[in-house]
Amino acid sequence: MSSPFTEQHEQFRKTVRSFAEKELAPHVEEWEQKEIFPAREVFKRAGELGILGAHYPEDKGGGGGDVWFTVAKTEELPRAGMAGVTMALLVQSDMATPVIADLGTKEQIDEFLAPALAGDKIAALGVSEPAAGSDVAGIRTVAKRDGDDYVLSGSKTYITNGTQCDFVTLLAKTNPEAGAHGCSFFLVPANTKGFGVSKKLRKIGNHSSDTAELYLDEVRIPKRYLIGEENMGFMYLMQNFQSERLVACTSATASGFYALERTIAFGRDRVVMGKPLVKREYWQHRLADHAINLEAGKALSYKCCEAYQREKYDLKTALSMETVKLISMAKVFVAENIGKLLDDCLQFHGGAGYIEEGWVARAWRDQRLLRIGGGTSEVMRYYVAKIMGM
């Protein structure tokens, strides 16, 4: 396919790259060790640069761009060198906010979306629970109507930005008897009485981002914080998941290219038994295979983005099953091959790859989430098989 990027996209790409390399990357060691980063400062700066809302309509606080602005952003943020901050920013711009942009009232957009895109408010997405991850039908958080309010009770876990967020775009059961099709989306301000952080969770990777378990104890919110229609949340979520999986694919692929580039550079200088390591035929073949898989993953991801751009108008308009299948395929293909690539990158670096201070160990740890977050590889395969009629 011909390049989808215009001069405007490339200028935006340069802005994101500069932000990642000059304003984020210098803090890698500090934020990774603290297992948190100064979200208010970072999000505000990203908002000022137009990074958070480039692909949203101007009348909703965005830059009026298309999906390829999102791709450019996801391909450059990995240059910060820490997937935790990249993930936190993408939760803000591409996971917790699309449903507000597509279905939110003017009041919801003014109160939540526009400030989030400007970096003035920090958003989180509240779907997963201790007993329900990829199987969304199993969520137990409930929202009961009480006059002009809803009262929410339950818990959420694995919530990125959870300890620093100003609001959560949260899925709850409004009709428990209906299973998955009895869910609704709500906007829940973090300062609401009864809402809180149970604990900050420690993770294998993505150390620089904060991940939390949240509780809701009789949290009362006004009816105007319901997003879209009651009991339509599952359908909205399934559409919202597609954008989440797309940014995971494009971001991970870019991370893979970056890791391969740095690994080859290391191999040019690393002499083993009288020859640069990169000149060893075994490693040439291994790294060439990874380059092939990266190009294939990029092509598949771009094909998905092209279909998404063509079909996606709002969350009331479902993507075709063919596009959902392709996105699920891309998620599996990219995530699993990135895992193999980073494993080889670590092996290639030998002892240096096993040292915490090195970038390789961090990248190796961080990539493991890709086979879990946004839908496990097993669930993605299930969707592919189901759409294929199996």
Secondary structure (DSSP) of 212-223: EEEEEEEEEEEG
> How many other C-beta atoms can be found within 10 angstroms of the C-beta atom of residue 3?
9
Phi, psi torsion values for 103, nearest 5 degrees = -125, -10
Compute CA distances 1 → 69, 289, 308, 360, whole Å.
17, 22, 16, 32
Q: How far apart are the first and last CA of the chain?
A: 31
Q: What is the CATH number of the domain that holds 200?
A: 2.40.110.10
Give the pLDDT confidence score for residue 121 in this predicted structure: 98
Domain ranges, residue 161: 124-227
95 and 13 belong to one structural domain = yes
CB 160 within 8 A of CB 248: no
String of DSSP letters for 240-264: HHHHHHHHHHHHHHHHHHHHHHHHH
Rg (CA), the chain: 21
Asked, for residue 255, whether it belongs to a domain, the answer is yes
Distance of CA 232 to the CA centre of its chain: 23
- Number of residues assigned to the chain: 390
Distance of CA 9 to the CA centre of its chain: 20
Asked, for residue 345, whether it belongs to a domain, the answer is yes
165 and 26 belong to one structural domain = no
57 and 187 belong to one structural domain = no
Query: pLDDT above 90 covers what percent of the chain?
Result: 88
- Which of 204, 227, 250 finishes a domain? 227
Give the pLDDT confidence score for residue 289 in this predicted structure: 98
Looking at the DSSP bridge assignments, the partners of residue 146 are: 149
Give the pLDDT confidence score for residue 313 in this predicted structure: 64
CB 117 within 8 A of CB 98: no
159 and 290 belong to one structural domain = no
- Which of 227, 248, 275 finishes a domain? 227
Which residue carries 């979200």 as its tokens?
Answer: 39
240 and 368 belong to one structural domain = yes
Taking alpha carbons only, the member of 186, 173, 191 closest to residue 104 is 186
CB contact set of 69 (below 8 Å; sequence gap of 6+): 9, 12, 54, 55, 63
201 and 301 belong to one structural domain = no
- Which of 227, 245, 275 finishes a domain? 227
Which residues are designated catalytic?
A: 244
String of DSSP letters for 96-163: SSHHHHHH--HHHIIIIIHHHHTTSS-EEEE--BTTBSS-GGG---EEEEETTEEEEEEEEEEEETTT
Distance of CA 244 to the CA centre of its chain: 5
CB contact set of 371 (below 8 Å; sequence gap of 6+): 335, 336, 339, 377
69 and 112 belong to one structural domain = yes
Question: Structure pTM?
Answer: 0.93
Q: For 324-383, how does the pLDDT look when each residue is reduced to its tens digit (9 = 90+)?
A: 999 999 999 999 999 999 999 999 999 999 998 889 999 999 999 999 999 999 999 999
241 and 357 belong to one structural domain = yes
Helix (H) / strand (E) element for 185: namely strand 183-189
291 and 366 belong to one structural domain = yes
Q: What is the CATH number of the domain that holds 306?
A: 1.20.140.10
The Cα–Cα gap between 119 and 16 comes to 15
273 and 376 belong to one structural domain = yes
CB 50 within 8 A of CB 9: no
Looking at the DSSP bridge assignments, the partners of residue 272 are: 275
Domain count, the chain: 3
280 and 297 belong to one structural domain = yes
Asked, for residue 2, whether it belongs to a domain, the answer is no
The Cα–Cα gap between 39 and 366 comes to 19
* Secondary structure (3-state) at 196: strand
Distance of CA 383 to the CA centre of its chain: 20
Give the pLDDT confidence score for residue 314 in this predicted structure: 61
Residues in the chain predicted with pLDDT less than 50, given as ranges, are none
223 and 263 belong to one structural domain = no
